Amino acid sequence: MPHYFDHAATTPMREAAKRIWLEHASALNPGGQYASGRKARSVLDSAREEIATLLGCDPIEVIFCASGTEADNLALQGLWRRSGGTIAASGIEHPAVLETVRGLEHQGAAVRWLPVSSKGEVHEFESTIQGVDLITCMWANNETGALQPVQQICDAAGDAPVHVDAVQAVGHVPVDFHALGATTLAASAHKFGGPRGLGILLAKRSPAPSPVLFGGGQERGIRPGTNDVAAAAATAAALKEAVAEMEAESQRLRSLQTRLLDVVASIENTQIHTPDHCLPGHVHASFLGAEADSLIMLLDSQGFEASTGSACSNGVNRASEVLLSMGVPVANARSAIRFSLGYTTTTADVEALIRALPDVVARARLAGMA
Ligand code: PLP
């Protein structure tokens, strides 16, 4: 079995989620008015209620869709459709948000970029959000794991709707939608042990995103289409387990993270990108003089699975936009890889990585930069 260090990309499905998934695999259309439709409906309703309780919102505010990417698109495109005008966004957003904002820019949106510190944290945002029509900020960065000041942004937003991409946060840190006061929030089941292909959009009753997809009116008309009942039920089961284990798991991962960070820091010429205020499972660093692709391939050949964490690279080693926004030089950004730990990561996995890493870095450095 390989040592898996890419939990922030996707985490294995939890056994509890698999069981529920199989149990409801034959569920039919929850919109059907007959007995099997009502049965499917009641499973879907229970999943919605469970998720609402776990995320601090009302069941009606839970919109099931197909991915975190779709949830971000439905929220941002839908909210911008209501008001038009100026959007405030940070340059460290995942492409699901960044490319959506850029797409809206082509449709006439004015965009203001929120300042980002060298630690990868949005900061000094107050003047940038003054008078804007829509604000978007992620809860935690997918590459560095840096936690963002989403509560402060929601508190300072005034009447402007706020979308929070919480795809990396849900199931890993406590999330309470009502306490946060955001307008919309995106989550994705496969980041906390649910199935891939199930996104969650939390959307306040008002202002609600205008529809960008049209059809049968399911999910308040914000995400029409026949629901995947089994995936929704499995997602609720995964989130329940992730939330129940959160405190203990966070402490366990934090100590593995500290151990790994210490070893990475002891390798000469490294630059650590994960700040102190971060998710417990991320270790993101540049090994200067080594190409990220070489590091990933050498690690893979020894049974360690890690990635750059930069979703837009798509197999091509381009410098991460997140790191460039933080002021990291291009050459350093091209030497960056992310180890992300999760609920299946053991002490033995981390110790094996620690034994292998110095030699892998030395060999990648010998190969040099392309
Ligand atoms: N937003 C963030 C912060 C992410 O990390 C990801 C996935 O990596 C997404 C959005 C997209 O989620 P999905 O893969 O479910 O489309």
Residue 10: both structure tokens together: 């996707």
Q: Does residue 163's CB lie within 6 angstroms of at least one atom of ligand 1? A: no
Burial class (CB within 10 angstroms; exposed 0-12, middle 13-18, buried 19+) of 366? exposed
245 falls in which pLDDT band (50, 70, 90)?
A: very high
Q: Quick one: pLDDT at residue 311?
A: 62
Burial class (CB within 10 angstroms; exposed 0-12, middle 13-18, buried 19+) of 370? exposed
Interval 188-212 mean pLDDT? 98
Q: pLDDT above 70 covers what percent of the chain?
A: 98
Ligand 1 pocket test: pick from 142, 143, 320 the residue with the most ligand atoms within 8 Å of its Cβ: 142
Residue closest to 320 by CA, chosen among 120, 113, 114, 115: 120
296 falls in which pLDDT band (50, 70, 90)?
A: very high
The active-site residue, picked from 137, 154, 278, 312, is 312
pLDDT, tens digit, 9 for 90 and up, residues 219-236: 999 999 999 999 999 999
Q: Quick one: pLDDT at residue 79?
A: 98
Q: Quick one: pLDDT at residue 369?
A: 82
Interval 89-94 mean pLDDT? 96
Residues of the chain with CATH 3.90.1150.10: 3-9+245-369
Residue 126: both structure tokens together: 């107050």
Residue 145 reports pLDDT greater than 90: yes
Distance 10 CA to ligand 1 centre (A): 9
Ligand 1 pocket test: pick from 97, 136, 188 the residue with the most ligand atoms within 8 Å of its Cβ: 188
Q: What Rg, from alpha-carbon coordinates, does the chain have?
A: 21
> Taking the domain 3-9+245-369, which CATH number applies?
3.90.1150.10
SS3 state of residue 146: strand
Q: Does residue 100's CB lie within 6 angstroms of at least one atom of ligand 1? A: no
Residue closest to 96 by CA, chosen among 199, 210, 247: 199
Q: Does residue 11's CB lie within 6 angstroms of at least one atom of ligand 1? A: no
Q: Does residue 96's CB lie within 6 angstroms of at least one atom of ligand 1? A: yes
Paired with 4 in beta bridges are 305
Q: Quick one: pLDDT at residue 263?
A: 97
For atom 12 of ligand 1, which residue has the closest CA?
Answer: 68
For atom 14 of ligand 1, which residue has the closest CA?
Answer: 68
Q: Does residue 199's CB lie within 6 angstroms of at least one atom of ligand 1? A: yes
Q: Which ligand 1 atom is at minimum distance from the Cα of 188?
A: 15
Residues of the chain with CATH 3.40.640.10: 15-242
Confirm whether 278 is a catalytic residue: no
- The phi, psi pair for 46, rounded to 5°, reads -65, -40
Q: State which amino acid sits at residue 138.
A: M
Q: Contact 234/194 with Cβ under 8 angstroms?
A: yes
Q: Does residue 138's CB lie within 6 angstroms of at least one atom of ligand 1? A: yes
Architecture of domain 15-242: 3-Layer(aba) Sandwich (3.40)
Q: Does residue 184's CB lie within 6 angstroms of at least one atom of ligand 1? A: no
Q: Which ligand 1 atom is at minimum distance from the Cα of 190?
A: 15
Paired with 224 in beta bridges are none
Q: State which amino acid sits at residue 195.
A: P
pTM of the model: 0.97
pLDDT, tens digit, 9 for 90 and up, residues 354-364: 999 999 999 99
Mean pLDDT of the chain: 96
Q: Quick one: pLDDT at residue 317?
A: 66
Ligand 1 pocket test: pick from 10, 148, 167 the residue with the most ligand atoms within 8 Å of its Cβ: 167
Q: Does residue 165's CB lie within 6 angstroms of at least one atom of ligand 1? A: yes
pLDDT, tens digit, 9 for 90 and up, residues 297-351: 999 999 999 999 886 445 566 889 999 999 999 999 999 999 999 999 999 999 9
Residue 177: both structure tokens together: 């939608």
Q: State which amino acid sits at residue 314.
A: N
